[in-house]
């Protein structure tokens, strides 16, 4: 990690996620010590219970909002909350919280405990609570927690650390025996890092389809030999009642007062704070004579103020490995991103000015202000439509969840669908026949509904089922068993299969013809062009990289790494056609490179192996736990 990274993280350290839980579940998790104590949701609201361990509504809401803000901060305004909900972010977060509670339940079952001394030791080891290698002290520790927004109680923070340590211990107890042999480390390192550079000629199947036809006799013959290929899967038809979010959204009226309240509550989202761009020269003091370092820094300051090129001074003298090669450039940053002493000095400068020496925990800095951007605020009129859509969608989601909860108590048999719909002015719809995984007429892609349709018994009802459009209640109307169709019914599919096969054969033949002309040619590229094709030369690629024009083509990759440099392949069949390759260059890792990276790489492999094993372990452990989830409560909370 560079010095710049550490400087920027010093004030923003509490944005880190629970790394230990991330290791266990490979998830993005923000601990519940970020809980907003001013939230208007009662702590007794519960969205899930895992073997008696509750997940409170305010915990979920805070985590959900933090994740939304993280996405919007990373991707900008294009990543709005409605889109994230459609992507299922709320359900992902709920699952992550359930997984964390499940790990704590399992740890309790096997009597894993974490002492107060272990919690304290972990906190004191966090880099943001250290200065010059030592703990910053109890008072500054509490001050840092209190500076967060909202302020963090030490008890909440320390409890989150305790939970992290519990999960870490559980994971260690389950996976600590695992190891990776030396030869496997080297083999996998080579597999991931060896590269080849190829000259590639492709013969796409689709390009030959206009040149082929299929006779009735060919269709019959192909169908007879491949009947199972054309089997029609089981299909089902349902009647359903939809608590439609879009329909409810159209009736939502968003007043000016609603807009003003939402705008003021989220004002920080529409503000761009003041930013500056600065460059710096750092001379580190750790392990050195402070007076000697300061004298050298003063000499550099004199040179900078005398007109020396600041960027060149930084390149030659700065000890910040991350920025020195760029002339000390820190790019734009806002207040609070750097350590306080640096922050105060930099924001006090005017563009072009150079600071006095600035002493921080890292050493002596010389700062030059390059540019300054004043803060801006988007007015209510600028975000009116965005807020109107957001408020309307949230209220419609809440109304749909409330409606679904009400309907759930009334719909217990198929006839109840019509009764409940008539009482509320809704309409019961009937789908067409659909197979597993197919979109449903008028509902679109609804995998949750399709899955329920294949699980529900005749005469039963299922729901409420949360979908991107709202909540669905359904009953099974009819089913068609899987069958092999007659040729006439499958004729279009059979024709496409025959044409594709013949086009692929034409591509293979063409590739063989070209190969015969270029295999012994002194100039591969010229010989290919003379045959009417243009080869494409790739950049060096690894085994896992996509191939230009082919995408993921394991057949081509296997041939490329098995052939010697300079060799030309036989025609290679891929899912999209045929390819010829020449191995232009093979770039294999050296023993020296393997030795230099072996320990780090082994740790990566071992962590990955342990993560996968622990995840599988927890899947089985959860099967023995009672996990109750209130999805309607989740919808109300995010609304």
Fold agreement (3-177+620-638, 274-374): no
pLDDT at 399: 87
Q: Where are the domains of the chain?
A: 3-177+620-638, 195-207+486-587, 235-262+380-480, 274-374
Examine the pLDDT at 142 and tell me if it is beyond 50.
Answer: yes
User: What is the band of 217 on the pLDDT scale with cuts at 50, 70, 90?
Assistant: very high
Cβ distance 362 to 6 under 8 Å?
A: yes
Residue 508 pLDDT grade (very low, low, confident, very high; cuts 50, 70, 90): very high
Give the CATH architecture of domain 274-374: Roll (3.10)
**Model pLDDT, residue 442:** 77
* Percent of residues, the chain, with pLDDT higher than 90: 47
| C-alpha dihedral (619, 620, 626, 628), degrees to nearest 10 | 20
| pLDDT beyond 80 at 78 | no
Alpha-carbon radius of gyration of the chain: 32
Among the ranges given (433-447, 463-477, 494-508), the one the predictor scored with the smallest mean pLDDT: 433-447
Res 129: pLDDT:
82
Is the CA virtual torsion 219, 222, 227, 232 positive or negative?
negative
pLDDT of residue 41: 38
Note whether 99 and 25 are within 8 A (CB).
yes
Q: Is the peptide bond before 358 cis (omega within 30 degrees of 0)?
A: no
Position 8 scores a pLDDT of: 38
Predicted confidence (pLDDT) per residue in 282-308, tens digit: 999 888 899 999 999 999 999 999 999
- What pairs with residue 373 in β-bridges? 275
Q: How far is CA 477 from CA 176, 240, 369, 467, in A?
A: 53, 10, 72, 20
pLDDT-based confidence at 148, cuts 50/70/90? Answer: low
CA 169 to chain centroid, in Å, comes to 26
> Angle between the 380-408 and 631-638 helix axes, to the nearest 10 degrees?
160
Q: Which of 117-121, 147-151, 383-387, 633-637 has the highest mean pLDDT?
A: 117-121
Q: Which long-range contacts link 93-96 to residues 24+ away (Cβ below 8 Å)? A: 93/60, 93/63, 93/64, 93/67, 94/47, 94/48, 94/55, 94/60, 94/629, 94/634, 96/25, 96/27, 96/28, 96/29
Mean pLDDT taken over the chain: 84
Residue of 65 and 22 predicted with greater confidence: 65
Q: Is 220 helix (H, G, I), strand (E, B) or coil?
A: helix
Q: Is the pTM of this model over 0.85?
A: no
Going by pLDDT thresholds of 50, 70 and 90, the confidence category of residue 46 is confident
**CATH fold of the domain at 195-207+486-587:** Chitinase A; domain 3 (3.10.50)
Query: Which class is domain 3-177+620-638?
Result: mainly alpha
- Check whether 186 has a pLDDT greater than 90: yes
CA distance 142 to 588: 52
Considering only CA atoms, which of 539, 542, 557 is closest in space to residue 195?
542
pLDDT of residue 24: 26
The CATH architecture that domain 235-262+380-480 belongs to is: Roll (3.10)
What pLDDT, on a 0 to 100 scale, did the predictor assign at position 485? 93
Q: Which two tokens stand for residue 420?
A: 């409940």
pLDDT at residue 30 tops 50:
no
Burial state string for 153-162 with b = 16 or more CB within 10 A and e = fewer than 16: eeeebbebbb
Least confident of 36-50, 218-232, 298-312, 428-442: 36-50
The answer, yes or no, to whether residue 33 has pLDDT greater than 50, is no
Q: pLDDT digit string (tens) for 391-408? A: 888 888 888 888 888 898
């Amino acid at each position: 990690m560079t010095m710049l990274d550490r400087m920027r993280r010093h004030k923003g350290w509490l944005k880190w996620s629970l790394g230990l839980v991330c290791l266990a579940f490979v998830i993005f998790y923000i601990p519940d010590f970020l809980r907003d104590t001013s939230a208007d949701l009662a702590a007794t609201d519960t969205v899930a219970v895992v073997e008696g361990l509750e997940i409170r509504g305010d915990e979920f809401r805070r985590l959900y909002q933090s994740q939304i803000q993280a996405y919007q901060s990373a991707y900008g305004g294009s990543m709005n909350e409605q889109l994230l909900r459609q992507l299922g972010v709320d359900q992902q977060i709920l699952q992550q919280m359930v997984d964390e509670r499940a790990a704590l339940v399992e740890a309790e079952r096997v009597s894993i405990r974490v002492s107060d001394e272990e919690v304290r030791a972990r906190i004191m080891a966090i880099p943001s609570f250290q200065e010059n290698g030592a703990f910053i002290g109890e008072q500054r520790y509490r001050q840092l927690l209190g500076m967060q927004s909202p302020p963090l109680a030490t008890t909440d923070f320390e409890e989150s650390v305790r939970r992290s340590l519990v999960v870490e211990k559980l994971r260690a107890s389950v996976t600590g025996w695992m190891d990776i042999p030396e030869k496997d480390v080297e083999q996998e390192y080579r597999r991931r890092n060896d590269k080849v550079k190829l000259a590639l000629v492709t013969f796409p199947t689709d390009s030959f389809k206009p040149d082929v036809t299929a006779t009735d006799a060919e269709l019959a013959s192909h169908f007879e030999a491949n009947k199972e290929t054309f089997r029609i899967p089981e299909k089902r038809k349902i009647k359903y009642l939809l608590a439609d979010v879009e329909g409810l959204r159209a009736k939502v009226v968003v007043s000016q007062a609603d807009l003003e309240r939402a705008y003021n509550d989220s004002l920080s989202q529409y503000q761009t704070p003041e930013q500056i761009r600065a460059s710096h020269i750092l001379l580190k003091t750790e392990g050195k004579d402070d007076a000697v370092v300061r004298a050298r820094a003063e000499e550099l300051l004199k040179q900078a103020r005398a007109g020396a090129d600041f960027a060149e001074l930084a390149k030659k003298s700065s000890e910040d490995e991350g920025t020195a090669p760029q002339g000390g450039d820190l790019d734009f940053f806002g207040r609070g991103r750097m350590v306080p002493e640096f922050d105060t000095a930099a924001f006090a400068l005017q563009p072009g000015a150079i600071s006095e020496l600035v002493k921080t925990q890292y050493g002596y800095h010389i700062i030059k202000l390059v540019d300054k951007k004043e803060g801006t605020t988007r007015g209510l009129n600028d975000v009116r439509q965005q807020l109107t859509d957001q408020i309307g969608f949230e209220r419609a989601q809440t109304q749909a969840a409330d409606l679904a909860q009400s309907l759930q108590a009334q719909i217990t048999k198929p006839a109840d669908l019509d009764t409940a719909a008539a009482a509320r002015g809704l309409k019961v719809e009937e789908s067409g026949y659909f197979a597993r995984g197919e979109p449903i007429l008028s509902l679109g892609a609804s995998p949750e509904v399709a899955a329920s349709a294949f699980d529900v018994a005749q005469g039963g009802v299922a729901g409420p089922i949360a979908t991107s459009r709202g909540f669905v209640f359904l009953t099974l109307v009819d089913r068609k068993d899987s069958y092999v169709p007659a040729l006439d019914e499958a004729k279009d599919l059979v024709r496409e299969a025959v044409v594709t096969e013949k086009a692929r054969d034409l591509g293979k033949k063409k590739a063989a013809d070209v190969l015969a002309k270029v295999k012994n040619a002194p100039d591969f590229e010229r010989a290919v062009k003379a045959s009417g094709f243009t080869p494409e030369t790739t950049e060096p690629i690894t085994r896992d990289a996509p191939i230009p024009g082919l995408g993921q083509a394991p057949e081509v990759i296997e041939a490329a790494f098995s052939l010697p440099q300079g060799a030309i392949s036989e025609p290679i069949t891929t899912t999209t056609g045929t390819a010829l390759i020449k191995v232009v260059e093979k770039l294999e890792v050296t023993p020296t490179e393997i030795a230099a990276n072996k320990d780090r790489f082994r740790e990566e492999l071992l962590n990955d192996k342990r993560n996968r094993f622990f995840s599988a372990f927890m899947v089985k452990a959860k099967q023995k736990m009672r996990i109750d989830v209130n999805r309607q409560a989740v919808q109300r909370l995010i609304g």
